[in-house]
Amino acid sequence: MTALLSLLVGAAAVAAVVVHAGELTRAPTASSTHNTKGSGSGSGAQGTPTTASHGAGSTTTAPAGSGTTRTTGQGTTGTGTTGTGTGTTTGQGSSTTPTWRVAWGSAMAWAQPHFTVDQATVRQLATVPIGGSEVRLRISNLFGTAPLQIGHVTVAQSTGGAGIAASTLRNVTFGGAAGAVVPIGGDLTSDPVIFPVSAGETLTASIYVTAPDSVTVHPWGNHGPVSFATANGTPDATAQPAATGFPYWSVWPRLLDAVDVLSTLQSGSIVALGDSITDGFNTTTSWTNVLQQRIDMLPASQRAAVINEGITANTLTPLADDYAKVGGGPAGLRRLQQDVLSLPGVSTVMVLLGTNDLFFGASAKRVIWGFKQLIARAHRAGIKVIGITLLPRDGSERWEPELFPLRQPYLEQINHWILTSHAFDGVANFAPVVADTYNGQCDPTKMFGPYDSGDHLHPNAAGQTAMANSVNTQLLGLPSAPLVAPLVAVQPTPGCKSS
């Protein structure tokens, strides 16, 4: 559902479109315990996608522990019945008992072609909406082509860009060692680091890679530089406070895919599993960012983290004709374990997937089947599932009724099932929120013009804001949160109803 663009920028431009980015280069390291993941669909092959919504690394098992690695096999979609039960809310600790909760995440989707790191430092920013006394980092080699050799890792408070506050610098270890090896297809969670962090603070993880490997990345979805790197063949710069020496930057998160915080908050983290609409393609914000802004207006003790695990071009179910191998990542069912169930302290997952399945030719029946599998697996893990209706997209690519007569009926069937099946623990009905039913307009199968980014599929910032404001935060186990100011004034068209 989206053309993928990639930037890795140096002193001049060292990057371009999806298949090309700057390079880096190599050295030795100590090793630690690990988890590996079988490769399988979604490993980074080269290509230039053109329209659809995106996905991250394949399925995995057991929650990551301190200084442990996990190996993730490409998960099965699973069978089993879907229930309407609420499920237990994982990680709902008391307000006085510290609990590990994921506070930042980025769904990894592929290894960008022609981009190798070797004897270089990658510096990744992560803004955490909840505070705590300790942190843990999870480093990903889900799509690496070699074991990821880590020589040294640090965490510090960001001073902006690639700069860090030297007084906050802490070494990060893995099973007590400074270095580690992350197997191909695996990820590695660090030992806890005593590092008091405040809500809203931006952390910087610096990772020195000592031998050549393809870099696991999250393509697209960010609206400013979030990752920085030294040139290949340079010494360890993980403890360097200044931004000088980090000439390369990217809007794509690299290597770091999760940050956990030891928090006393009672509410569990909320994960948004989605495609480019959640990822924030073609806009300056995302509905998850705006939802987090709403939650941040609650009293400090009643807040929670919203983790955006959307990937542009992602589908719910695995399909032969999709963009999994060129940046769209494994389907939602295949990455559910990696991007939701393996994260600590998650209470709820919000799912906005399925429109790309239709784009690639799936039926309504297949999408509904996919939702049933996802719900059953999340419930078995004690996590509530909030379904989100698919957005209107008449006029978008591959949606012409004369060429694709079933796609609009399929979308309507899926939304009807989401709203009436009672399979989910709750529903966020985004479809009518952004439909063309305002200010005298009445064409419910289309997106409202002032909410449309221009491609008739992805909402702009005003549309993303409207969707976030429509979420009933009580469905997430939180108090009713204030709304943010809408970016467009709307008045429902009398007598016009969304389909």
Q: Give the DSSP letter of residue 40.
A: -
**68 versus 130: which is more confidently predicted?**
130
Question: pTM of the full predicted structure?
Answer: 0.84
Buried b (16+ CB within 10 A) or exposed e, 158-182: bbeebbbeeebbeebbbbeebbbbb
CB-count burial class (<10 Å; 0-12, 13-18, 19+) for 413:
middle
**What pLDDT sits at residue 75?**
38
**What pLDDT sits at residue 112?**
81
State how beta strands 248-250 and 306-310 pair. unpaired
For 201-217, the pLDDT digits (tens) are: 999 999 999 999 999 99
**What pLDDT sits at residue 401?**
96
Asked: is 260-476 a CATH 3.40.50.1110 domain? The reply is yes
Helix (H) or strand (E) holding 215: strand 213-217
Q: How far apart are CA 104 and CA 271, in angstroms?
A: 10
Tell me the pLDDT of the chain averaged across its residues: 85
Q: How far apart are CA 410 and CA 108, in angstroms?
A: 29
For 70-88, the pLDDT digits (tens) are: 544 333 333 333 333 333 3
Residue 221's pLDDT band, with cuts at 50, 70 and 90, is: confident
Instruction: Report percent pLDDT > 90 for the chain.
Output: 78
126-137 average pLDDT score: 98
Residue appearing with tokens 């371009």: 16
Q: How far apart are CA 333 and CA 159, in angstroms?
A: 38
Sequence ranges of the domains in the chain = 23-58+106-258, 260-476
Residue 356 scores a pLDDT above 60: yes
Q: For the chain, how many helices (H) and strands (E)? A: 8, 24
Residue 443 scores a pLDDT above 80: yes
Q: Would you say 229 and 121 are in contact if contact means Cβ atoms under 8 Å apart? A: yes
For 93-124, the pLDDT digits (tens) are: 345 799 999 999 999 999 988 889 999 999 99
Q: Would you say 8 and 14 are in contact if contact means Cβ atoms under 8 Å apart? A: yes
**Backbone Cα Rg of the chain:** 21
30-45 average pLDDT score: 32
